[in-house]
Amino acid sequence: MIDQSTIERIIDAAEITDVVSEFVTLRRRGVNLLGLCPFHNEKTPSFTVSPAKGIFKCFGCGKGGNSVNFIMEHEQLTYPEALRWLAKKYHIEIEEKEETEEDKQLKDARESMMIVSEFAKNYFHRYLLKENEGRTIGLSYLKERGIRDDIIKKFELGFCPDGKDIFTQAAQQEGYKIDFLEQTGLTVRRDNWVADRFAGRVMFPIHNIAGRVIAFGGRILKDDKKSAKYLNSPESEIYHKSRVLYGIFQAKRDITRLDKCYLVEGYTDVLSFHQAGIENVVASSGTALTPDQIRLIRRFTPNVTIIYDGDAAGIKASLRGIDLVLEEGVNVKVLLLPNGEDPDSFARSMSASQLTEYIKANETDFIRFKTQLLLGSTESDPVSRARLISDIMQSIAVIPDAITRSVYIKECSKLLDVHENVLYTEIRKILQKENEDQQRKDIREQIKTKQASALVAEKATIANPFEIEEREILRILLKHFGREIFEVESDDPNEPVLLTVGQYVLGELDTDGLTSNSDDINRMLDIFRENCENKDFEPARFFINHPEAGLSKMASDLLSEKYVESKRWVKSGAFVEAEADILDLLVPRIVQEYKLRKVKAMLKQIEKKIQQTSTDGDFARIMELQNQYINLKKVAKYLSEQLGFRAIN
C-alpha cells in the first residue's frame, strides 16, 4: 500500500485544474472553469472544474470527483494506479508497504494532534484577549504594529503565557496527553523536564488549506539575543513546513476570484495586506520557496507576483524562487520594494487601491528583472556576460510550455542582443540533458510499477429506488453536519440542549431503523455516525479525498449539485430564503419525505403479499398483513399532513 502521508502529499500536489487541463481545454467562468466533457460527446460545454473545492463535475453525463477520480476514469486505472500516475507527474517518490497496526494507530495519532492544536489555538487566542498578561504584553504589541481587532480575530492570533509550563499544565488539566503536546511541538520534554516551547510569544496559528490548525509561529517580545525572533513548530506528522503557506486558507477564495496570488515572506506581511484590503496574499513563512508551496498556489491560479524587500537579501531570495515557480508552469512577476521597505511597512503606508496600483505599475516580468539586475555588472566582461546568458537560459528551459519558452527567447534575444538561433541551441542542450535524466528516472519508475499490487475489482452497485431522497440527506450532512439548530428539552428547562444537523438526521434514521440499499450510502452514514461528537470533523474534505472511489465521487457529485427550491413554493410566489437560513424547516422536511417514500414502498409490498396470500387461504396471515397495512397507512397519513399533503410517488 501507499502510506497515508504520501497519499496526502499527492492529493495536495494534484491541483484539479492542472490535472484536467492535460486532457480538456478549459475557460474561466466566474470562480469555476468550463470545458467539453472528455467522457461523452457534447457540443455545448457542461463539464465544470471548481479549483476552490478541488473537484470536477459533468452535468451532462454525471461523472465527477477529485483529481484522483478524474485520472481513474480517464485513464481507466485503479485508485493505487491513479495515485502512482499523479505521483509521477509531480515527481513524488512512492514507497509502498503493507498497512500495519502501527499505521492504523498513526492515523489516530494524527487526528489527536489536530485536536490538541485546535485547543492550543483557542487557549492562546483567549489568553491574548482576556488575560491581563496577554492584553498588556501581546495585545499591546499587536496594537503598536497597527493590527486591527478584526484581523486579530480573522487570523486567530494569540499569546502564550510567559512561564515554564503554564500552557502545558492547562492542556493536561483539560485531558490532553503530554505525548501529543510533545509531538505537535507545543511542549518540549527532556526526561522529567517539561516546558512550553512558545512561552512569552505572540502566536500565529498556521492553518492548512481546509482551515485546521496544524502548527504555530511565535514571535518573542523580550530583548533576548539568545532566542530566535521567530520560532516555528517543528516538523510533525501533521506539519511539513515545505508544503504549507501561511494565510492560504484565508486567501484561497480571493486568489481564485482574482486569478492572482501575491507571495510575501512573513506573517505580518500577510496581516498588513489583509488590513489594507488585499486578501489574495500568502507567505512562505521565512523559509526558502519550495515546489510543493508553488503547486499549492497553482491549485487556485497560475499567476503569481513575488514581493520581496528591496535589500540585497530580498534580491537574492527572489532569484532563488524564480526558477522553481517557472518550472511549475506558473506565470511569475517580481516586485522589489524601495530600499528600506518590507511588505508589512509598505502595505501599512497606503490604501488598498494605492497598493494595487503600485504593484501593477512596478511588477516586472522575470526576464526583464533578471536581465536588468545582472546585466549592469557584466558589461565589460565577456565571460561574465556569457555566464549571465547561460543563467537566464537555464531559467527559460524549465518552463514546461514550448510556446511560452519561444516568447521569452525572443524577448531575451532583444534584451541581450544575442541571435535567437544561438539561444535556441543553448536551450536544446539543456533540455536534452534533462530528457536523458528523466528517461533514467522513468525506467526506475516502470520497474516499481510492475512490482505494484494487482487490480482491485469494484463492487457492482445495487439499484436503489430511494436514491434521490438519500442523496439529498447526504448532501445536507456534507454541507451542514455540525451546525447546531435544533433545540430539545433537557432536565433544566432554562438550558435546552442543542442538536446538530447530523445528530438530528442520524437520530431520526436510527430511531426508525432506516438503511439504504446502497453500500456506499450506508458506508457514508456510518462514518457520519462515528463523527457525530467530533467537532473538528470536516465532511466535505474528508469524503472528497477519501481513498474509496465510490465515496469520493458521490461526495463530489453532491457538493456540485445546487439546492433546488420547492416548485410549489416558487409557483405560489413565496419568498424563498437561502438554504442555510431555513435548515430548521428544510432538514425535517427532507427526512419526512424520505420516510414517506419508504412507507409507501412498504405499503406496496404488503399489498402484493396480501394478494399472494389470498390465493393460499391463510386468513391468519392475511389479518396480520392487513393490520400492518392499516398501521402503515396511519404513518403515511401523518407524514403527508406534516408535508402539507404533498404527493410523493
The amino acid that residue 383 corresponds to is: V
- Pairing, β 497-500 against β 364-365: unpaired
Q: How far apart are CA 388 and CA 402, in angstroms?
A: 22
Query: Does residue 336 come out as left (phi exceeding 0), alpha (psi in the -120 to 50 range) or beta?
Result: beta
Mean pLDDT: which of 132-136, 250-254, 297-301, 453-457 is highest?
A: 132-136
Fold observed for domain 4-89:
DNA Primase; Chain A (3.90.580)
User: Phi and psi dihedrals of 391, rounded to 5?
Assistant: -60, -45
Measured distance CA(274)–CA(258) in Å, rounded:
15
What's the average model confidence in pLDDT over 493-513?
83
Domain boundaries defined on the chain: 4-89, 101-239, 241-350, 363-452, 467-642
Given the C-alpha cell 406534516, which residue does it identify?
A: 642
pLDDT exceeds 50 at position 460: no
Cβ contacts of 601 within 8 Å, gap of 6 or more: 465, 466
Mean pLDDT of the chain, nearest integer: 82
Distance from C-alpha of 623 to C-alpha of 343, rounded to nearest angstrom: 82
pLDDT of residue 347: 86
Indicate if the pLDDT at residue 616 is higher than 80. Answer: no
- Note whether 367 and 410 are within 8 A (CB): no
> What is the sign of the dihedral through the CA atoms of 479, 481, 484 and 487?
positive
Full DSSP string of 43-103 = SS--EEEETTTTEEEETTT--EE-HHHHHHHHHT--HHHHHHHHHHHTT----B----HHH
Pick the CATH number of 241-350 from 3.40.1360.10, 3.90.550.10, 3.90.25.10, 1.10.3720.10: 3.40.1360.10
Lowest mean pLDDT among 145-149, 447-451, 597-601: 447-451
Only one residue has cell 561574465, namely: 384
Q: Which of 105-119, 249-263, 496-510 is predicted least confidently? A: 105-119
Q: How does pLDDT run across 390-445, given as a tens digit for each residue?
A: 888 888 888 877 888 888 888 888 877 888 888 888 888 888 887 777 777 767 66
Closest CA to 208 of 110, 331, 104: 110
Helix then strand then coil, % of the chain, to nearest 5: 55, 10, 35
- E strand intervals along 294-358: 303-308, 331-336
Please enumerate, as own/partner, the contacts of 277-280 that have beta carbons within 8 Å and a separation of 24 or more: 277/351, 277/352, 278/347, 278/352, 278/355, 278/356, 279/250, 279/251, 279/253, 279/254, 280/251, 280/254, 280/255
User: Which superfamily does CATH assign the domain made up of 101-239 to?
Assistant: DNA primase, catalytic core, N-terminal domain (3.90.980.10)
pLDDT of residue 156: 95
pLDDT band (50, 70, 90) for residue 237: confident
Name which residue leads in pLDDT, 400 or 555.
Answer: 555
